Amino acid sequence: MFYQKTLTKVRVWDLPTRIFHWALAIGMVGLAISGTVGGNAMVWHFRFGYAVLALLLFRLVWGLVGGYWSRFGAFIYAPQSIIDYLKGKGQPEHSVGHSPVGALSVFAMLAFLVFQVGSGLVSDDEIAFSGPLTRFVSNATVSLATNYHANIGKWILLALVLMHMAAIVFYLLRKHNLVGAMLHGDKELVRQVPASRDDTASRLSALLVFLLCAGVAYWVSTLEVAAF
């Protein structure tokens, strides 16, 4: 006897999370290019840096109040779940939001992005550009942060992003397209699972949260001291 599996369309990634994701990807490319070119392009490096700061602040808040599958609580897994998943014994609900291993990579990317932006704010190239918060910390901290920002953190992030993309391609080759849901928000699932809230009210509240975060990032930018 054949059973027809009924697929249900479920909103997994709400619009704010999707916009966050693609804006972050663009911001990271902008940061990498402007940081590598250096010189006058550093003005853009700072602009992209403040934009990514605003995005990260937004995601930290959205991880608490956002759509069901965007909340950190939906993808914090016990170590045993991660081990089971790696052994191929994952649960069906692991394929809805971030899987246990995907969640590890998401938390690693967000954490190292926080370190990268944080260290950038107190970095100083001793030529023309100095982060807006350098004058609030000791010279030793500036020197440590600058070394981390320019020589260590960026490579860790590059490795994490490359691993992220390799994982997406790996799943794609196994006929599991994760990218679609990050574009249109939905997954076709066999079982009933909670959907992420993504209505006008939640989108407007996301916009409000983002504007507040952008305000904080802008305020941080005003602390820059012009170098002459």
Residue ranges in contact with ligand HEM by CB under 6 A: 17, 20-21, 24-25, 28, 59, 70, 98, 102, 106, 109-110, 161, 164-165, 168, 178-179, 182
Q: To the nearest whole angstrom, how small is the minimum distance from the Cβ of residue 76 to ligand HEM? A: 12
Which one, 1 or 175, has the nearer CB to ligand HEM?
175
Q: To the nearest whole angstrom, how small is the minimum distance from the Cβ of residue 110 to ligand HEM? A: 6
* 131 CB-near residues (< 8 Å, 6+ apart): 120, 121, 122, 123, 124, 145, 224
Q: To the nearest whole angstrom, how small is the minimum distance from the Cβ of residue 173 to ligand HEM? A: 13
Count how many Cα atoms sit within 13 Å of the Cα of residue 93 in the half-sphere of its side chain. 9
Our CA angle for 211, 72, 24, nearest 5°, is: 45
Q: To the nearest whole angstrom, how small is the minimum distance from the Cβ of residue 141 to ligand HEM? A: 26
H or E, element range at 226 = none
Q: What distance in Å separates the CA atoms of residue 121 and residue 143, rounded to the nearest whole number? A: 12
**Residue from 57, 25, 76 nearest 209 by CA:** 57
Which one, 170 or 219, has the nearer CB to ligand HEM?
170
Q: To the nearest whole angstrom, how small is the minimum distance from the Cβ of residue 85 to ligand HEM? A: 12
Sign of CA dihedral 199, 202, 207, 213: negative
Which one, 114 or 144, has the nearer CB to ligand HEM?
114
**Residues 198, 11: contact at Cβ < 8 Å?**
yes
Q: To the nearest whole angstrom, how small is the minimum distance from the Cβ of residue 102 to ligand HEM? A: 4
Which one, 89 or 176, has the nearer CB to ligand HEM?
176
Q: What distance in Å separates the CA atoms of residue 70 and residue 17, rounded to the nearest whole number? A: 7
Which one, 96 or 142, has the nearer CB to ligand HEM?
96
Which one, 67 or 132, has the nearer CB to ligand HEM?
67
